[in-house]
């Protein structure tokens, strides 16, 4: 891949600090994305009550436009507890899961049957956490299983919890993994019985969830010199897992053997999120480098990384990012990303082109 230019198309003031972006991956809804916010009222004693947030439902462009439309429209604002992470169900159309600062996971469904496009609440579950902990319980990250029937969640107590969404939202497993915050978790896209987690204790862990009592530890790695913050099981290449870390590296592992990384690339600022667009350019990895910028990294055939694009529009902590989930035949023909940052509460939609 050649060097990339990233040009801002539209911006939006989220009012509250923004920390997550997720484009809807389902056909007919590719113009839709959500942005999550986290407002902490610091004058009060820490509690879930003063960690407030919103889910901002946006549309980029007109839904039926055959030509370029650069409008950015806020469709809905959902007032709720602060949002730490969000994910669309990969299989079941239009379901969104959100991880909350009140220690819950909430499921919403996207609908336009009764008027404008809206998210409707469907289910909520409270995480178990660690009963011996006195700290507030926050749901920090989540991921859907490849079949869309289960959700894995990591929390501020260092626990990982498995929920089933086949008959309501019910806990299947809850187990203590990390000594400190479990910042991230993900299902393997190559074996949905394997779950990965990463924590502030610097450990990357793999778990086999087929055990009826408690998942079996399948692997443990402490290559990272600071907290493991992001995971991407890479479906387009067999057994590949990517990680981001506070130690300012993106790394590539073989999921079957986590003893050491295969390759790595330093990125300034700490890597909080890593995202790909599997339908258009899966090897272009969008990274939120917290205290530096948003960067695009190219994953080469030899499993090495190269920095190919940077986006410096944001002036605060770079947290949320995602590619618009469209294929090469999508009507606009453009490669679009959305990004958001924290204290400047800024949301940007941008176009990525060859330099």
The more confidently predicted of residues 67 and 207 is 207
What mean pLDDT do residues 348-355 have?
Answer: 95
**289 pLDDT tier (thresholds 50, 70, 90):** very high
Question: 203-258, pLDDT tens digit by residue?
Answer: 999 999 998 788 988 889 999 999 999 999 999 999 999 999 999 999 999 999 99
Q: First CA to last CA across the chain, in angstroms? A: 10
Which pLDDT does position 219 carry in this prediction? Answer: 87
**113 pLDDT tier (thresholds 50, 70, 90):** confident
Looking at 2-6, 12-16, 101-105, 342-346, which range is the least confident one?
A: 2-6
Which pLDDT does position 1 carry in this prediction? Answer: 61
SS3 content of the chain, % helix, strand, coil (to 5): 0, 55, 45
Which pLDDT does position 168 carry in this prediction? Answer: 84
DSSP 79-122: EEEPEEEEEE-SSSTTEEEEEETTSEEEEEEEE-TTSS-EEEEE
What mean pLDDT do residues 144-148 have?
Answer: 96
CATH code assigned at 275: 2.130.10.10
Is residue 355's pLDDT more than 90? no
- Domain extent for 81: 4-354
Residue with tokens 């986006």: 311
d(CA 162, CA 154): 9
Q: What is the CA radius of gyration of the chain?
A: 19
What mean pLDDT do residues 273-285 have?
Answer: 94
Q: What sign for the dihedral angle of Cα 25, 28, 29, 30? A: positive
Which pLDDT does position 331 carry in this prediction? Answer: 76
d(CA 46, CA 65): 47
The closest alpha carbon to 228, from 259, 260, 197, belongs to: 197
Is residue 9's pLDDT more than 60? yes
Which pLDDT does position 97 carry in this prediction? Answer: 98
| Six-digit token string for 252 | 């590539």
DSSP 304-338: -EEEEEEE----S-EEEEEE----TT-TT---EEE
Question: 184-212, pLDDT tens digit by residue?
Answer: 999 999 999 999 999 999 999 999 999 87
What mean pLDDT do residues 81-99 have?
Answer: 95
**48 pLDDT tier (thresholds 50, 70, 90):** low
- Model-level pTM? 0.95
d(CA 177, CA 269): 26
**19 pLDDT tier (thresholds 50, 70, 90):** very high
| Six-digit token string for 350 | 């941008």
Q: How many domains, in total, are found in the chain?
A: 1
Q: Which residues of 109-147 are buried (b: 16+ CB within 10 A; e: fewer)?
A: bbeeeeeebbbeeebebebbbbeeeeeebbbbbbbbbbe
CA 166 to chain centre: 22
Is residue 102's pLDDT more than 80? yes
Which pLDDT does position 46 carry in this prediction? Answer: 54
Give the residue ranges of DSSP H helices in the chain.
Answer: none
Plot region of 303 (φ>0 → left; ψ -120 to 50 → alpha; else → beta): left
Question: What does pLDDT average to over the chain?
Answer: 93
């Amino acid at each position: 891949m050649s060097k990339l230019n990233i040009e801002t198309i539209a911006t939006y003031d989220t009012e509250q600090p923004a920390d997550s972006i997720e484009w809807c991956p389902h056909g007919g809804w590719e113009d839709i994305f959500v942005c999550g916010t986290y407002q902490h009222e610091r004058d009060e004693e820490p509690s879930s009550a003063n960690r407030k947030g919103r889910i901002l439902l946006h549309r980029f462009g007109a839904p039926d436009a055959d030509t370029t439309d650069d409008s950015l429209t806020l469709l809905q604002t959902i007032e709720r507890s602060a949002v730490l992470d969000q994910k669309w169900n990969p299989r079941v159309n239009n379901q969104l899961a959100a991880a909350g600062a009140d220690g819950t996971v909430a499921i919403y469904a996207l609908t336009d049957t009764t008027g404008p496009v809206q998210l409707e609440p469907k289910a909520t579950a409270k995480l178990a956490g660690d009963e011996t902990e006195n700290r507030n319980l926050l749901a920090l990250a989540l991921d859907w299983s490849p079949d869309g029937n289960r959700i894995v969640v990591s929390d501020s107590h260092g626990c990982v919890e498995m929920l089933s969404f086949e008959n309501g939202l019910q806990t299947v497993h809850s187990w203590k993994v990390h000594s400190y915050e479990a910042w991230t978790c993900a299902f393997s896209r190559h074996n949905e019985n394997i779950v990965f987690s990463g924590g502030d204790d610097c450990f990357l862990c793999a778990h086999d969830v087929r055990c009826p009592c408690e998942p079996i530890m399948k692997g443990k790695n402490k290559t990272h010199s600071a907290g493991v913050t992001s995971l991407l099981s890479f479906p387009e290449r067999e057994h590949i897992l990517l990680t981001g870390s506070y130690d300012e590296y993106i790394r590539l592992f073989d999921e079957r053997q986590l003893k050491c990384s295969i390759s790595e690339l330093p990125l300034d600022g700490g890597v909080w999120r890593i995202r790909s667009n599997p339908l258009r350019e899966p090897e272009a990895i969008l990274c939120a480098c917290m205290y530096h910028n948003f960067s695009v990294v190219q994953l080469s055939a030899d499993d090495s990384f190269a920095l190919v694009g940077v986006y410096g529009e944001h002036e605060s902590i770079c947290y949320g990012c995602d590619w618009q989930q469209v294929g090469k035949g999508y009507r606009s023909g453009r490669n679009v990303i959305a990004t958001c940052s924290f204290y400047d509460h800024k949301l940007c939609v941008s176009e990525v082109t060859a330099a």
